Structure 1
């Protein structure tokens, strides 16, 4: 849980700095970006789960 909180805080600080310096946010559009990240994570977990059966 500590990692999640630190990641959230880091993301908020980066977002604040990018907004402060009027730079474009280094992420895809909000919903599409979140869906992509979740998809990558789920793909990794699916592969790990399937790898249990191949051994």
Structure 2
């Protein structure tokens, strides 16, 4: 939980700094981009879970 809170606070600070200097946001500007990042994370986790059950070709 501490890691999540620190990541959120860091993101908040970076967002404030970028807005203060009128720079483009360093993250996906739409929810679709955020959903893509979440999909990548879950895809990685699923592969780590089922990977040992797959043939050597997929490892």
Name structure 2 gaps, 5 residues minimum.
none
> Normalization by structure 1: what TM-score?
0.87
Q: Which runs of 4+ in 1 moved over 3 A?
A: none
**What RMSD in Å do the two structures reach over aligned CA positions?**
1.4
Larger Rg computed on CA atoms: 2
Name structure 1 gaps, 5 residues minimum.
none
Residue 40 (structure 2) aligns with: 40
Residue 17 (structure 1) aligns with: 17
For residues 5-26 of structure 1, the C-alpha deviation after alignment (integer angstroms, 9 at most, x for no partner) is 0000000000000000000001
* Residue 30 of structure 2 corresponds to residue 30 of structure 1: yes
Aligned residues: 55
